Structure 1
Amino acid sequence: MNIERLAAILRQAAKDEIMPRFRRLDDGMVRSKANAFDLVTEADESAERAIAAAINAHSPNTVVIGEEAVSANPNLLNSHFEDRTVIYVDPVDGTYNFASGLPLFAVMAAVVENGETVAGVIYDPMGDDFLMTERACGTWQVFPDGRRVRQKFAEPTALAEMGGLASVSYLPTEVRSQVLGNLAKVKMFANYRCAGHEYRMAAGGHAHFLMYNKLMPWDHVAGALMMREAGAHVARFDGSEYKASHTGGGLLVAPSKENWDELRREVFVV
């Protein structure tokens, strides 16, 4: 599917299904899934249905795998579609923020062909702009008027001067304590509870590292490609390449291989 068409589908779903419900969710429109911070709302479900329907209307042979569909049927993640184009969709990334009325959420999609990620889109409904990438074409911020700004990851720097984003909630308790202590070695870190906006921030050169432990494809496949295309070093904790089929093994992003090695050795000892 053409990336501009995919971006337009995400934008339309946000305008039709997500934004009309922002700060208008009644109690019955929000449910907990695995825990109190893992939520699903009526907006997630309605937007995913709209996105899947629009993609299938334009590309009937494309397989759409959305976060909420997998929540209902986990076996979808174990299905084999090596001979098909797969689009992973996160209809509302940052659902907890969305449900809390915080304007920090995104709509994401990643295109995978023959097991390889070839394109990705992260749409910000509040700013009404996109982060878009295609393999070997760079990462771009794209505005509704057609203006495009090429993105570049931060330059390498000393560990003590680094600022970045780390999601530690899915680390084992004893490891989490150690990593949190090690983060005193960097200048600052944060977590937005929204991978989409964390990837957007990093793509523009405003973060020196990103760290995630739990890897669901709708959360990280698009962003990982964007980081590589913006010039970052991207690898799982064991140094191997991250692929859409991976749901564990962690992900660490840094300005260079040297910075990646230092962060892995000094901070993210997992």
Structure 2
Amino acid sequence: MTDNLPAAPKPALTTAQQQHVLNIIRRAAKAEIMPRFRSLASSDIASKSRPDDLVTAADTAAETMITRALQTAFPSALVVGEEAVAADPTLLTKIAEAPLAFIIDPVDGTWNFAHELAVFGVILAATQFGRPVFGLIYDPVADDWAIADSDSSARLERATGTSRTLHAAIGKPVEKLAGYIPLNLFAHHLRPKVAAALPSFARSHTLRCSAHEYRMIAQGHTDFLLTATLHPWDHAAGALICARAGAHVEMLEGGEYSAGRHEGHLLVAPDKATWNRLQKIFSFLLE
């Protein structure tokens, strides 16, 4: 008898809703991002918090289009875009309490985009009270996307209709690991210690693009990732996609990642044993 069993929880977004969100992202990329790629005027590019923290006309136009479409489709949801937060930082405080929030990075890898490098993407996450429940990382150049929700495996899908399940790398000794470590984004007083740890690995670098770094982790092409900041538009979708690809995703100090957290460091590794070895190396960040 199963009559007294609780009903299985419904997914945050139905399959049809996920497809609609994907269509919104693809339309925005086609209308507002790709026509500006390698066609930006100097007046289309501005700096924000520092000279290499850029925003372009593509960022603002795409975010406006995506936000409007999401608010129409999900009128009760909170929509938080990177550029909107730049104008109103209090939006960040609402994520942890929102039953459904959409978090958008309209052009992740803006520095690359502005310098005509084809390493950028669109990131969207849906969260429930800060917990990522849907993640989408779209590559407008290739017209393909990494996607996952809290009930399914991560997949790489293409406009051609093909799809394959994503698998993170297998664990290995520290000296054989390759990872992404954004040295320049750590606080100045931490950079010498972070830099001193880099020779421990086979390779460490950055793509200046969280979208493609998380995609590379989820595809098993790179082993680990350590964040310097916790901007939710950079990490919420990727954390879920990598976890659903089999990676171990945990805050450096322990505990699950939440888009409602704004301090600390997220560490993504192939498995718990490898994560533990990496956590020991970077434990100075917890002091």
> Are 1:243 and 2:258 matched, yes or no?
yes
TM-score with structure 1 setting the length: 0.96
Q: Quick one: which amino acid aligns to residue 221 of structure 1?
A: A
Give how far 1:174 is off: 3.2
Larger radius of gyration: 2
In the TM superposition, structure 1's runs of 4+ consecutive aligned residues that sit over 4 Å from their partners are none
Is the CA contact 1:237–1:264 (under 8 Å) kept in the aligned structure 2?
yes
> Equivalent of 1:85, from 85, 96, 100?
100
Alpha-carbon distance in 2 for matches of 1:234, 1:115: 15
Matches of residues 77-156 of structure 1 in structure 2 within 5 Å? 77-79=92-94, 82-156=97-171
| Deviations, residues 75-122 of structure 1 (Å, cap 9, x unaligned) | 111236735310000000000110011100000100012332110100
Identity across aligned pairs (percent)?
Answer: 39
> Are 1:26 and 2:41 matched, yes or no?
yes
Is the CA contact 1:210–1:253 (under 8 Å) kept in the aligned structure 2?
yes
Structure 2 segments unaligned to the other structure (5+ residues) = 1-12
Q: Quick one: which amino acid aligns to residue 226 of structure 1?
A: I
| Deviations, residues 109-140 of structure 1 (Å, cap 9, x unaligned) | 00012332110100001111000001030110
Instruction: State which drifts further: 54-63 or 116-125.
Output: 54-63
Matches of residues 224-235 of structure 1 in structure 2 within 5 Å? 224-235=239-250
Give how far 1:255 is off: 1.0
Alpha-carbon distance in 2 for matches of 1:83, 1:69: 17
Give how far 1:208 is off: 1.1
**CA spacing shift, 1:118–1:96, aligned 2, 3 Å:** same
Is the CA contact 2:34–2:140 (under 8 Å) kept in the aligned structure 1?
yes
Alpha-carbon distance in 1 for matches of 2:218, 2:152: 14
Secondary structure of the 1:239 match is coil
Partner of residue 230, structure 2: 215
Alpha-carbon distance in 2 for matches of 1:143, 1:269: 41
Give how far 1:147 is off: 1.1
Structure 1 segments unaligned to the other structure (5+ residues) = none
TM-score with structure 2 setting the length: 0.91
Aligned residues: 270
Give how far 1:256 is off: 1.4
Give how far 1:167 is off: 1.4
